[in-house]
């Protein structure tokens, strides 16, 4: 809107004034007026004024509105929905002091200072905007529901004064310190998904809390969880004691009032499944995993529905669980109930974290079940609980992870069991034995041309390296510049074409190669890309 138009519109006191001067308005203002006329169901400005001025609720969701100036005269509004528009300036809202509910999410707002006058608000939805400073919200003492997810907020000190809050959503922000929440004792629903929170102990004061979402945060750094993870690592290569394993399994059956099972020991999960196929295919499964979870986690969830996603703390175990099940007969594994150490770690971790961080107390039966779960974790590998039989698997004899806790070994299995069942993995990707049993130095570039699996091809590229690919494959030479050659792999080896910049050292003859974007059309252009825009004429390549 031009300065002249802005000065003119400042004299408009009614919506009829906006309609009367429609031809003088900016394109954005005209669009808003048209939306409001359509909402009123008339093209007559005076009639629309009469209809809209008597409205207390107005829904303008998803109308591509940019300028909300024409709304400033609707002072009787108590509920206004402006979700899913293109609004950045909310100054015109400052006159709507009767508003009790304001929905203005999914816009382009960064400055919320015009809201200061809206002291009657009890619901404010500002989700999916560009807001970083929310300190002025400390004045909104009447607010009971506040939604600020998907913004740029890091400081929530403002919130300690909002003691009437019942629902609060701050998911997908940059918040690390939640101590200001400790005074919000009326809160029932709290969502802090995907922030930078490592300590949730301030929440133990929120005695009315019923729903808590804390997934995708940094709670893995908690000492309780770290010590449990370390215990899991230490146990993974320790052979099971059959006598202790038997006692642990019988205790679990007993705590649920089940008869003592006949225990059978296997050397690997694969051997256990084969045994199920041969002998126990018709044996009734026990849904023991769910029973354990319900006996321990359900009492907690009755008091507080918690989403912590603790399985991310034990990612190595989750990878092992996934990769082993992928290599077992799916139609059979899918039919039978089995419990892995990783299932138990997740359940123990969830329970002990809640007890530690939130001062929650387990019922007596739940305490007994938790102890049984800990005993199974300490003394068993995988178990397959049936009605009269329980198959217990030994732990692996070989187990290797990379620095990022992914299954990884070079030239040997990443995990292996005593009966010969094994998996080869390269930085978390399961490999066929024909690749995995060889060290990456022995991998051949020609395999890239016949391998059908795209993920495995990427692993082969990573292990072989571009320098060897240049030497071992016939590549298309696109351009030359001094010691540099721009090359292309013709085959569909990767998702996008592979372009390589090869440099042969003049003194040693050693070949270096780097991948460059496929839009490179000359060796010189590729050199500039590799060197952050510096032209090769500006540096010497000779040594």
**Per-residue model confidence (pLDDT) at position 2:** 44
DSSP count for the chain of H helices, then E strands: 16, 20
Cβ pair 291, 256 in contact under 8 A: yes
**Per-residue model confidence (pLDDT) at position 541:** 47
Taking the C-alpha atoms of residue 336 and residue 324, their distance in angstroms, rounded to an integer, is 15
**Per-residue model confidence (pLDDT) at position 331:** 64
114: left (phi over 0), alpha (psi -120 to 50) or beta: alpha
DSSP state of 208: T
Q: Tokens 């390549």 appear where?
A: 541
- Tell the burial category of 239 from Cβ atoms under 10 Å away from its Cβ (0-12, 13-18, 19+): exposed
Give the tokens for residue 84.
């899913």
The secondary element (H helix, E strand) that includes residue 191 is: strand 189-191
Q: Where are the domains of the chain?
A: 54-221, 223-303+313-393, 398-441, 443-449+464-538
Strand order in the sheet with 398-399: 398-399, 415-416, 422-426, 429-431
Alpha-carbon dihedral sign for residues 534, 536, 540, 543? positive
- Tell the burial category of 200 from Cβ atoms under 10 Å away from its Cβ (0-12, 13-18, 19+): buried
- DSSP H helices in 359-488: 364-379, 433-436, 454-464, 466-472
**Per-residue model confidence (pLDDT) at position 308:** 57
The secondary element (H helix, E strand) that includes residue 333 is: helix 330-333
The secondary element (H helix, E strand) that includes residue 221 is: none
Going by CATH, does the domain composed of 54-221 fall within 3.30.465.10?
no
Structural Rg of the chain based on CA atoms: 32
User: Beta-carbon neighbour count of residue 506 at 10 Å?
Assistant: 12
SS (H, E, C) 264-327: EEECCHHHHHHHHHHHCCCCCECCHHHHHHHHHHHHHHHHCEEECCHHHHHHHHHHHHHHHHHC
Reduce the DSSP state of residue 125 to 3 states and report it.
Answer: strand
- Tell the burial category of 345 from Cβ atoms under 10 Å away from its Cβ (0-12, 13-18, 19+): buried
Taking the C-alpha atoms of residue 518 and residue 520, their distance in angstroms, rounded to an integer, is 5
DSSP state of 357: H
Give the tokens for residue 295.
């006996």
Q: CA angle, corner 228, sides to 223 and 232, nearest 5?
A: 145
Q: Tens of pLDDT along the chain (543 residues)?
A: 444 454 466 678 899 999 999 999 999 999 999 999 999 999 999 999 999 999 999 999 999 999 999 999 999 999 999 999 999 999 999 999 999 999 999 999 999 999 999 999 999 999 999 999 999 999 999 999 999 999 999 999 999 999 999 999 999 999 999 999 999 999 999 999 999 998 888 988 888 888 888 888 887 666 777 788 888 888 988 999 999 999 999 999 998 888 899 999 999 988 988 888 788 766 666 566 677 767 766 566 555 555 555 545 455 566 666 777 676 666 666 666 788 888 888 788 878 888 888 877 888 888 898 899 999 999 999 998 888 889 999 999 999 988 887 889 999 999 999 999 999 999 988 899 999 999 999 999 899 888 888 888 889 988 988 888 888 887 888 888 888 888 888 766 666 778 888 887 777 777 777 888 888 888 888 888 888 878 777 765 444
For the chain, the residue count is: 543
Strand order in the sheet with 383-385: 262-266, 389-393, 383-385
Reduce the DSSP state of residue 451 to 3 states and report it.
Answer: coil
Taking the C-alpha atoms of residue 59 and residue 80, their distance in angstroms, rounded to an integer, is 6
The secondary element (H helix, E strand) that includes residue 165 is: none
**Per-residue model confidence (pLDDT) at position 542:** 45
**Within 13 Å of residue 115, how many CA atoms lie on the same side as its CB?**
27
Nearest to 201 by CA among 177, 185, 220, 217: 177
Give the tokens for residue 48.
């629309």
């Amino acid at each position: 809107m031009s300065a002249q138009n802005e000065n003119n519109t400042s004299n408009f006191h009614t919506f009829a004034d906006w309609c009367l001067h429609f031809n003088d308005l900016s394109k954005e203002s005209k669009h808003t007026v048209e939306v409001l006329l359509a909402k009123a169901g008339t093209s007559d400005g005076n009639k629309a004024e009469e209809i809209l001025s008597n409205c207390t609720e107005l829904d303008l969701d998803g109308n591509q509105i940019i300028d909300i100036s024409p709304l400033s005269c609707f002072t009787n509004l108590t509920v206004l929905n402006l979700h899913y528009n293109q609004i950045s300036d909310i100054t015109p809202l400052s006159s709507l002091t009767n508003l009790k509910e304001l929905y203005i999410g999914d816009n382009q707002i960064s400055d919320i200072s015009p809201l200061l006058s809206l002291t009657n608000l009890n619901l404010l939805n500002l989700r999916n905007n560009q807001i970083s400073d929310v300190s002025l919200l400390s004045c909104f003492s009447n607010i009971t529901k506040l939604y600020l997810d998907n913004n740029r907020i890091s400081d929530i000190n403002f919130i300690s004064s909002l003691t009437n809050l019942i629902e609060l959503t701050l998911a997908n922000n940059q918040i690390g310190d939640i101590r200001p929440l400790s005074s919000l004792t009326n809160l029932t629903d709290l969502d802090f998904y995907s922030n930078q929170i490592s300590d949730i102990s301030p929440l133990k004061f929120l005695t009315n809390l019923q729903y808590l979402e804390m997934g995708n945060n940094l709670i893995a750094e908690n000492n309780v969880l770290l010590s449990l993870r370390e215990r899991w690592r230490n146990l993974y290569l320790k052979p099971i004691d059959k006598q202790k394993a038997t006692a642990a399994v019988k205790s679990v059956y007993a705590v649920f009032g089940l008869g003592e099972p006949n225990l059978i020991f296997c050397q690997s999960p694969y051997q256990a499944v084969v045994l199920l196929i041969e002998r126990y295919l018709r044996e009734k499964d026990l849904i023991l995993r769910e029973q354990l979870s319900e006996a321990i986690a359900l009492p907690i969830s009755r008091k507080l529905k918690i989403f912590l996603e603790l399985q991310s703390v034990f990612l190595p175990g989750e990878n092992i669980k996934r990769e082993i099940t992928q290599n077992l007969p799916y139609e059979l594994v899918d039919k039978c109930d089995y419990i892995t150490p990783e299932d138990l770690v997740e359940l123990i971790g969830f329970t002990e974290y809640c007890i530690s961080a939130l001062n929650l107390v387990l019922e007596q039966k739940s305490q007994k079940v938790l102890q049984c779960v800990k005993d199974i974790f300490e003394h068993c590998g995988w178990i397959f609980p049936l009605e009269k039989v329980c198959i217990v698997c030994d732990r692996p004899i070989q187990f290797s992870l990379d620095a990022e806790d992914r299954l990884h070994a070079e030239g040997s299995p990443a995990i292996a069991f005593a009966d010969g069942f094994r998996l080869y993995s390269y930085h978390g990707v399961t490999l066929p034995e024909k690749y995995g049993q060889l060290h990456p130095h022995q991998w051949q570039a020609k395999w890239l041309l016949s391998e059908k699996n795209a993920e495995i091809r990427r692993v082969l590229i990573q292990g072989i390296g571009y320098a060897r690919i240049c030497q071992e494959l016939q590549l298309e030479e696109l351009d030359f510049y001094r010691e540099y050659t721009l090359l292309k792999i013709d085959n569909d080896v990767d998702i996008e074409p592979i372009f390589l910049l090869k440099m042969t050292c003049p003194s040693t003859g050693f070949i270096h190669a780097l991948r460059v974007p496929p839009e490179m059309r000359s060796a010189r252009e590729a050199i500039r890309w590799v060197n952050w825009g510096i032209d090769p004429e500006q540096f010497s390549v000779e040594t």
